[in-house]
Amino acid sequence: MDQPAKLNADSLGIVESIIMGIAGTAPAYSIEITTSTIIGTAGTLSPASILVCGLIMFGIAYAFINMNRALASAGTSYSWVSMVFGRALGFFAGWALLVLCCVFMVSAMIPAANATLLIFDRPLMNNVHYVTLIAAAWLTVVSAVVVKGIKLTSYVQVLMTIVEGVILLVIIVASFFIFPHAAEHAFSWRWFWPFDFTPKLFANGALVAIFFFYGWDVTMNLSEETRDANRTPGRAAFWSMVFLMVFFLVFIVIALLGLSDAEIQHYNTNIIFAIAEKLFGPTWGYVAIIAVLLSTVGTVETQMLQFTRTLFAKSRDGALHHRYARLHPVWRTPHVAIFFIWITGLVLLLMSSYLPTINVILQDSITAIGFQICFYLGLTGFACGWYYRKVLTQGPWVAVTHVIWPVASGVFLFFIALYSIPTFDWVTNIVGMGGIAIGAVPLLLNRKRIWRTAPG
């Protein structure tokens, strides 16, 4: 086959890269749809769950930072696990990311559609078919932006993140002036104390808490399009994680202070709307929904980037059909891969419309995604530890950040994933584990090319 053209190098700087990392985790979206679930599971220990899982994610962040210094690749986990543990395991690491990105099309686009209808036609927001139609429209718009190039994508992302950030900052400041005076849950430092967990309670909340932090690693998928490819994406990932941990802790505390258990359960996937409405009245509630909408669209954009860059890298290496490594002659984007994720997202949205309620769709998809996140991030932690095992004698900090912390984080993620399997329903099992297992089919179909070529 012809050598594929290179991605548009040196397009992103440190600021754009940090914003991409923050947008990939979608702060407002994550708070909006996941807060009620984690508080329903962990109660007032939700901040402790976020804190511990954030520290675990920092171990994985160091794994990504260190592996990116060794090899800057759009394929990230796929490329690194292939380099350390072989092509087969690397294939499954990359495949898990591809599958969860597809599933994410449903779990993210549905809240985007929900938010749109909440603003323009509130009575229709619980109608599965209308929600599916609006979600498909949003998916099409995002696909059109991503296919036009990384510069346009980054400009759109920066604009959306600034607007989202201003709205959320106003809500945060007002919350700490108003809610502590008549708190629904009396503040306690024990909210942050992880040793109050029982093992079962912690494990049940951890899979949800991990979902909060997913997505910052898009900075590494864009390394081939970033200036100083071996270092800038790592710095962006680190500062993205610092911001996200502080933000999530603050907003979970705000939710506990400002909303009763009944209100949290009632508003469910509209938590920021509920907080803003309680602070400022109905009008600001709708302004808050704009922040959630922008956050959701932003994270779908970054998910598309992760999916298409991973698919591009695997195809470039021969692990999948070379058509997905083709780049548009003008825009320098993997347009075939983008078209594929657009079509796949539309099909999954159509299938999801036959599930009975919006909440069922969200619950099943979030849990399945949590399992897949644990799988590919855990493998990356192990790969980092093994690759850098010889630095254990070079000082305590190097040993901790290159081997001990990444490996411990990987062990934790695999434990949480395996511990949670008995709690899955059949839909979650099929999507979560079956989605990874089905990767054996393309692995076998492409086995000759996979072992004939070397990872890029």
Smallest CA-to-CA distance from 306 within 166, 159, 108 is with 108
Is residue 15's pLDDT more than 70? yes
222 beta partners: none
User: Torsions phi, psi of 146, nearest 5?
Assistant: -65, -40
Report field, pTM of the whole predicted structure over 0.75 = yes
The answer to the question of residue 6 being in a domain is: no
The answer to the question of residue 428 being in a domain is: no
Quote the CA–CA distance of 9 and 28 in Å, as a whole number. Answer: 30
Chain segment 210-237, per-residue pLDDT in tens = 888 888 999 999 999 999 999 999 999 9
The answer to the question of residue 90 being in a domain is: no
Is residue 381's pLDDT more than 90? yes
Do 205 and 46 contact (CB within 8 A), yes or no?
yes
Quote the CA–CA distance of 26 and 230 in Å, as a whole number. Answer: 24
The answer to the question of residue 413 being in a domain is: no
Residues whose CB falls within 8 Å of the CB of residue 266, separated by 6 or more in sequence, listed in order: none
pLDDT band at 358 (very low <50, low <70, confident <90, very high): low
Is residue 418's pLDDT more than 50? yes
Chain segment 255-287, per-residue pLDDT in tens = 999 999 999 888 877 789 899 999 998 888 888
The answer to the question of residue 26 being in a domain is: yes
Question: Domain tally for the chain?
Answer: 1
Between 363 and 128, residue with greater pLDDT: 128
pLDDT of residue 360: 58
Summary mean pLDDT of the chain: 88
User: Torsions phi, psi of 13, nearest 5?
Assistant: -100, -175
pLDDT of residue 392: 93
Residue spans of alpha helices (H) in 334-404: 335-352, 358-387, 396-399
The answer to the question of residue 200 being in a domain is: yes
Quote the CA–CA distance of 157 and 47 in Å, as a whole number. Answer: 28
Between 384 and 433, residue with greater pLDDT: 384
Is residue 138's pLDDT more than 90? yes
pLDDT of residue 33: 78
Question: Which has the minimum average pLDDT: 139-148, 320-329, 335-344, 353-362?
Answer: 353-362
Is residue 453's pLDDT more than 70? no
**What mean pLDDT comes out for the span 90-110?**
87
The CATH number of the domain where 268 resides is what?
1.20.1740.10
Q: Which domain holds residue 102?
A: 14-68+97-357
Q: What is the DSSP string of 174-208?
A: HHHHHGGGG-SS---GGGG-GGG--HHHHHHHHHH
Instruction: Report which residue type is found at 51.
Output: L
In 3-state terms, what secondary structure has residue 226? strand
pLDDT of residue 1: 41
pLDDT of residue 456: 44
Is residue 414's pLDDT more than 90? yes
User: Torsions phi, psi of 214, nearest 5?
Assistant: -70, 135
